Amino acid sequence: MMRSLSLVLALSLSAPAALAQFTLDPRFTDNDGDLVADIPTNPAQWVNPNTLVFAYTPVEDPAVYAEVWQPFLDHMAAVTGKRVQFFPVNSNAAQIEAMRSGRLHIAGFNTGSNPLAVACAGFRPFAMMAGADGSFGYEMEFITHPTSGINRIEDLKGRTLAFTAETSNSGFKAPQALLEANYSLVVERDYNPAFSGAHDNSILGVVNRDYDAAAIANSVAHRMVARGVVKEGDYKVIYQSDSFPTTGYGTVYNLHPDLQAKIQEAFFSFDWTGTAMEEEFSRSGEAQFIPITFQQHWSVIREIDQAMGVQYTCR
């Protein structure tokens, strides 16, 4: 029987040095020490499906992104010789469980859920979107409605703050850690948390005054403004963080190694020019896929997790 996933969040920020280091589920090996699951050495354990299944990180309207991603999926089909199917997901947990259970082969996992996907689902990230000049990243922002009376972080006390999901970096982990460590604002004691499920849901919730404020990834907000879903004057920003790595793309660990190499080739050879991908993601300054490693590029996210006392339990 496939074990379900649980993410245990201990909210204390004290004694991070005593916390366990990042480790993989026991069913994976990491003989090269790069913190991701090794490809099995036994060919009998390799998976080589006729149809590859791809999922993008959860969004409010997956149908929109199915169309956006189609030119890239067509390119991947041509490079790999496989049929490629877009798989809409409604939560980070569902996306991780789909990969863990063998139903998902290629994915873009959001910043905060990358470590859980790596540890529990055998996710092997290798790419990230970046600007034409190679720059990458996004910022976490606290936003509020212009008429909310909230003008600084301290004003969040006693108000309802929307998060996205417990696996999200900018939608939960980083803002919660910041509020507690720097402003002594403790969740449920000093403010009321709400979970919207996605950044676009949180943004719309603030605009529609369902929430007093929200913690969001500003790359999502930029794309929503560019599409005309919301206007810049519909909300205001009261805090912006330093930059974080954005969505990481990769494969499940046990795909045939030749197929994994072909999938990587598809990512790095895709021409964005004139495609729906260029139209959508240029709104947040992205124009290409660049190589990344989980060990290097997600070190700041693992540090946040350690500071929060996050433990990944795969059961």
Domain ranges for the chain: 5-135+246-314, 138-244
Can you list the alpha helix ranges (DSSP code H) found in 13-91? 62-80
pLDDT at 19: 38
The Cα–Cα gap between 283 and 81 comes to: 31
Closest C-alpha to 98, from 81, 120, 128: 120
Q: Please state the pTM of the whole predicted model.
A: 0.79
Q: What is the pLDDT of residues 135-173, one digit of tens each?
A: 998 899 999 999 999 999 999 999 999 999 988 889 998
CATH fold of 138-244: D-Maltodextrin-Binding Protein; domain 2 (3.40.190)
Q: Does domain 5-135+246-314 match CATH 3.40.190.10?
A: yes
Closest C-alpha to 130, from 237, 241, 272: 272
Q: What is the pLDDT of residues 13-56, one digit of tens each?
A: 333 333 347 889 999 999 999 999 999 999 999 999 999 999 99
Residue 212: pLDDT band (50, 70, 90) is very high
Q: Do domains 5-135+246-314 and 138-244 have the same CATH topology?
A: yes
Q: What is the pLDDT of residues 50-94, one digit of tens each?
A: 999 999 998 777 788 999 999 999 999 999 999 999 999 988 899
The Cα–Cα gap between 92 and 98 comes to: 10
